[in-house]
């Protein structure tokens, strides 16, 4: 039998749902004597739809399918009408395609159908990485080539790009539905956002009479103003320091959740220009506390991790009562903390403090004690300790700048500590503090280790340190494997929770 569906009457017009349902048609179908097709001979539902023919059959299954198909088509026609009515002449149109019962088949072949179907199900416009077109400028083969100019793809990409607009731009539900923005619409939206941001920044600038904020990018500026608007800060006064990795502002504190904020605070803005941060990767990449998260983050979020790290480290130091700034609040890459200084005058760095010999000796013992506390009580190594990151205030040494601080078990933790010891020894010896220990003695005193000092041979001492680190690392890996047998080498979960988490 050549056609299991029997002969098709080519003259018969496609019937409407009402017709199919009519008794007359039912009788007509009943009268026809066609053989019942076996299951294997059944064409697929989509084949049926593609053929555009209404097969002739006595099968209940077929009848149900035809009815369903007809119903679906009418549903989709109705949907199309509603879509049209909904969108009107609007430049931005909303597609109802996802609600359709029957996927477009009229003017496309079946393979395109498939791609269409996968597209909507896979939600490409929501993907982390929007689909990109390879260098050659097109994807696909033969008839199915899609270029980067493909209207649908472009539209979806444009919609996904709205995600990058400033946080205060409400993009609505556009990201959640299959909204396709034309280039023209997208560009004018983008332009509008930029000019709005500039306008709003200008307004605030006038109000604050401050140009200091120019040292940061517009996004950061907006975040800063938001803190003023929210009353966390009364006023942002000016810039204390612009370094390679951060910009520090002085501000008057307001209140946060009904709690008073210190009268004077600083905003440490971690720079979002990424190049300088690249070479600091190793401080954070190998810090198991941040391991898991580091690899998955985009650069902007990595910057936030630095700020977060400083906050956690300061909290540990506070617990051990080491003089350091109090954390007020962390907003993305901006850390607000108490100001070390008075009446807008920041405490001097110890290198600039012009201390008398007695104060200098005092300062040395304080630093020695703090290094021990940091190591033993906070389980931290400062990793950037020097006369630049210690302030002299009210007769005390205050430690700052701890975003890069790591735990001693960090794969390079002891090397960082050795470097800290060298900075401290050198500085105080140069300042004439005769009690200042050699770098080796200082290292052993801080750690409680007894690495033989030998003939002041740094290479040997360093070799010992590196060997220790290696042994420790092996031990940590083993323990991690024991506790988490499926943990990978570099992304194992932390062995202990963060002290302040």
Which CB, 174 or 323, lies closer to ligand ADP? 323
- State which residue, 245 or 473, has the beta carbon closest to ligand ADP: 245
CB 443 → ligand ADP: shortest distance, Å? Answer: 23
162 or 374: CB nearest ligand ADP:
374
**Nearer of residues 54 and 247 to Mg ion, judged by Cβ:** 247
Distance of CA 406 to the CA centre of its chain: 22
Distance CA 189, CA 200 (A): 16
What gap in Å lies between CA 43 and CA 52, rounded to an integer? 13
Q: How far apart are CA 374 and CA 381, in angstroms?
A: 7
Binding partner of residue 196 among Mg ion, ligand ADP, none, CB cut-off 5 to 8 Å per kind: none
Burial status of residue 350 (CB atoms within 10 A of its CB: 0-12, 13-18, 19 or more): buried
Which residue number, 54 or 391, has a Cβ lying nearer to ligand ADP? 391
Based on the residue annotation, tell me whether 173 is a catalytic residue of this protein.
no
Q: Is 60 exposed, middle or buried (0-12, 13-18, 19+ CB in 10 A)?
A: exposed
The residue of the chain with the least Cβ separation from ligand ADP equals: 243
Three-state DSSP class for residue 341: strand
In the structure encoding, which two tokens stand for residue 270, read together?
A: 């971690």
Residues within the interface to ligand ADP (CB under 6 A): 240-241, 243, 245-246, 248, 266, 268, 325, 337, 339-341, 346-347, 349, 389, 400-401
Closest distance of CB 498 from ligand ADP, Å: 21
User: Which C-beta is closer to Mg ion: that of 401 or that of 420?
Assistant: 401
Quote the least distance from Cβ 108 to ligand ADP, whole Å.
58
Among residue numbers 374 through 403, which ones bind Mg ion (CB under 5 A)?
389, 401
Which partner in ligand ADP, Mg ion, none is near 102 (CB below 5 to 8 A by kind)? none
Rounded CA gap, 329 and 350, in Å? 26
Cβ neighbors of 146 (< 8 A, separation 6 or more) are 133, 138, 139, 140, 153
Among ligand ADP, Mg ion, none, the one that 305 touches (CB under a kind-dependent 5 to 8 A) is: none
Whether the Cβ atoms of residue 232 and residue 254 lie closer than 8 Å to each other: yes
Shorter beta-carbon distance to Mg ion: residue 232 or 383:
383
Tell me the closest approach of the beta carbon of residue 442 to ligand ADP, in angstroms.
22
The contact pattern for Mg ion, residues 400-429, with x = CB under 5 A and - = no contact, is: -x----------------------------
In three-state form (DSSP H/G/I as H, E/B as E, the rest C), the secondary structure along 181-245 is CCHHHHHHHHHHHHHHHHHHHHHHHHHHCCCHHHHCCHHHHHHHHHHHHCCCEEEEEEEEEECCC
Which of ligand ADP, Mg ion, none interacts with 454 (beta carbon under 5 to 8 A by kind)? Answer: none
Site residues (CB under 5 A) for Mg ion, limited to 258-317: none
Q: Which residue in the shown chain puts its C-beta closest to Mg ion?
A: 401
> Quick one: 269 or 360, whose CB is closer to ligand ADP?
269
Residues in the chain: 501
Instruction: Give dist(CA 422, CA 418) in Å, integer.
Output: 6
Partner whose binding site includes residue 241, from ligand ADP, Mg ion, none (CB under 5 to 8 Å by kind):
ligand ADP
Work out what residue 312 binds among Mg ion, ligand ADP, none; the CB cut-off runs from 5 to 8 Å by kind. Answer: none
Q: How far is the CB of 224 from Mg ion (least distance, A)?
A: 20
Q: For the CB of residue 420, give the shortest distance to ligand ADP in the complex, in Å.
A: 14
Rounded distance between C-alpha atoms, residue 311 and residue 500, angstroms: 10
Q: How far is the CB of 97 from Mg ion (least distance, A)?
A: 55
Instruction: Identify the active-site residue in 76, 178, 287, 384.
Output: 384
Closest distance of CB 317 from ligand ADP, Å: 12
- State the binding partner of 351 from ligand ADP, Mg ion, none, CB within 5 to 8 A by kind: none
- Alpha-carbon distance of 219 to 315, in angstroms, equals 27
Q: 69 touches which of Mg ion, ligand ADP, none (CB within 5 to 8 A by kind)? A: none
d(CA 463, CA 432): 30
Burial of 273 (0-12, 13-18, 19+ CB in 10 A): exposed
Active-site residues, by number, are 384
- Residue numbers at the binding site for Mg ion (CB under 5 A): 389, 401
């Amino acid at each position: 039998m050549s056609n299991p569906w029997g002969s098709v009457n080519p003259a018969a017009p496609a019937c409407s749902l009402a017709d199919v349902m009519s008794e007359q048609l039912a009788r007509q179908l009943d009268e026809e004597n066609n053989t019942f097709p076996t299951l294997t001979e059944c064409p697929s539902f989509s084949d049926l739809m593609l053929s555009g023919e209404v097969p002739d059959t006595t099968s209940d299954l077929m009848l149900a399918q035809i009815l369903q198909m007809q119903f679906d088509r009418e549903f989709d026609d109705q949907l199309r009408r509603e879509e049209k009515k909904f969108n009107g002449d609007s430049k931005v149109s909303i597609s109802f395609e996802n609600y359709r019962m029957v996927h477009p088949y009229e003017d496309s072949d079946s393979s395109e159908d498939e791609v269409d179907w996968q597209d909507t199900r896979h939600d490409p416009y929501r993907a982390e990485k929007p689909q990109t077109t390879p260098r050659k400028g097109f994807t696909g083969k033969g008839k199915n080539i899609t270029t980067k100019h493909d209207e649908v793809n472009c539209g979806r990409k444009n919609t996904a790009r709205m995600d990058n607009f400033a946080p205060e731009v409400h993009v609505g539900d556009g990201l959640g539905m299959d909204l396709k923005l034309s280039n023209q619409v997208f560009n004018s939206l983008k332009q509008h956002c930029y000019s709005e941001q500039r306008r709003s920044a200008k307004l605030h600038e006038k109000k604050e009479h401050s140009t200091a904020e120019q040292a940061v990018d517009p996004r950061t500026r907006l975040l800063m103003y938001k803190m003023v608007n929210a009353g966390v800060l009364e006023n942002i006064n000016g810039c204390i320091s612009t370094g390679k990795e951060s910009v520090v502002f002085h501000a008057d504190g307001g209140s946060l959740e009904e709690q008073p904020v210190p009268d004077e605070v600083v905003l440490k803005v971690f720079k979002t220009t990424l190049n300088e941060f690249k070479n600091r990767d190793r401080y954070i990449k190998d810090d198991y506390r941040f391991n898991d998260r580091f690899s998955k983050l985009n650069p902007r979020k990595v910057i936030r991790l630095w700020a977060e790290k400083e906050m956690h480290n300061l909290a540990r130091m506070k617990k051990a009562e080491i003089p350091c700034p109090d954390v007020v609040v962390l907003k993305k890459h901006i850390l607000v903390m108490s100001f070390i200084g008075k009446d807008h005058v920041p405490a001097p760095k110890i290198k600039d403090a012009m201390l008398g010999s007695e104060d200098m000796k005092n300062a040395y013992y304080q630093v020695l004690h703090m290094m021990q506390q940091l190591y033993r009580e906070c389980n931290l190594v400062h990793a950037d300790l020097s006369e630049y990151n210690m302030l002299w205030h009210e007769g005390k040494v205050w430690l700052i700048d701890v975003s890069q601080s790591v735990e001693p078990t960090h794969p390079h933790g002891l090397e960082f500590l050795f470097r800290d010891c060298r900075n401290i020894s050198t500085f105080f010896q140069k300042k004439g503090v005769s009690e200042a220990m050699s770098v080796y003695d200082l290292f052993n005193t801080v750690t409680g280790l007894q690495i033989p000092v030998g003939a002041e041979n740094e290479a040997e001492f360093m070799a010992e340190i590196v060997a220790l680190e290696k042994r420790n690392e092996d031990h940590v890996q083993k323990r991690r494997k024991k506790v988490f047998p499926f943990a990978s080498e570099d992304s194992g979960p932390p062995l202990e929770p963060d002290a302040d988490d």
